[in-house]
Structure 1
Amino acid sequence: MTSVNTFLWFDSEAEQAAEFYVALLPDARIVEVTRNPDGSAFLVALELAGHAISLLNGGPGHRLTDAASLQVIVEGQAEVDRLWAALTADGGEPGPCGWLTDRYGLSWQIVPSELPKLMSGERAAAVGAALRTMSKIDLRALRDAHDHG
């Protein structure tokens, strides 16, 4: 059997990050924690909406970057707002076009499910132009660009 798993390197906060992510997202759970002899977490396996992820406490030297991110597709502005606020809190940072970096350095994209529909067709350029001005995605502004762009 072949499976694909996202594997992320953390300095030392893999277990805390996993607990945060699991509490934040629906249909999420910690599957297993492999511990070092001193009791600290070495490897944390979790699932986020059925997606397998492993978080390694590997020490310094391999920083997370925005070159790779977890994309979360959500229904509606309220869920965009909720996840955005939680993931940028306590040291997280907003980025462009729906990207952000959380307090642990992991990059995320919080994307409303409506975005692909808005980005297709004759008005895609207007929607794309509006999207490029945003940090957190504003569905109302994207709909306006689509309808009047």
Structure 2
Amino acid sequence: MTVTTFFWFESAAEEAGQRYAEIVPNSRVLGITRQADGSAFIVDLELDGQRVTLMNGGPGHPLTDAASIQLIVDTQEELDRLWDALVEGGAPGPCGWLTDRFGLSWQVAPSVLMQLMAGTDPAKTAAVAAALRSMSKIDTKTLQDAYDHA
């Protein structure tokens, strides 16, 4: 059995797949199934080990933030690089979410966020949650400061 995340695009699956493979480390386009006219129909890619399929299916099924790709990173530098590249031509959202130029939603979050939110002190985790809600792109220092000073 193979489990693959699948997204329906109107017509930009090939461009999106190429861009995602360039932005996300350890990623590549695995293959493109073309229609009779040469245009891409199915784009198979691997994003850091995760299989993803993009399909050009035409209009009628727009992408929404009900489905997203989550990237958990270890450093602020990597978070900044990924966020800035993915949000280019798209729109920032709250709490580390963004919509890219193709309409796909992403969450770019630091691994430290999960550690801070899993803490046993309710006041500290509440302070981290409040700090997170005030952000679009996540700043790890701000989260750590909220935790440390709660």
TM range (shorter): over 0.9
Gaps of 5+ in 1: none
Give the distance between the partners of 1:52 and 1:78, measured in 2 at CA.
25
Counterpart for residue 14 of structure 1: 13
Counterpart for residue 52 of structure 1: 51
Counterpart for residue 114 of structure 2: 116
The alignment-based identity, stated in percent, is 60
Residues 1-149 of structure 1 aligned to structure 2 (within 5 Å): 2-89=1-88, 91-121=89-119, 122=121, 123-149=124-150
Gaps of 5+ in 2: none
Count the aligned residue pairs: 147
Give the distance between the partners of 2:43 and 2:118, measured in 1 at CA.
39
Deviations 1:20-68 (A, max 9, x none): 0000011101111000011000000000011011000000110000011
Letter in 1 for 2:145: D
Q: 4+ residue runs of structure 1 moved beyond 4 angstroms?
A: none
Give the distance between the partners of 2:47 and 2:87, measured in 1 at CA.
18
TM-score by length of 1: 0.97
Across the aligned residues of Structure 1 and Structure 2, the Cα RMSD in angstroms comes to 0.7
Question: Offset of 1:114 from its aligned partner?
Answer: 1.0
Give the distance between the partners of 2:65 and 2:139, measured in 1 at CA.
21
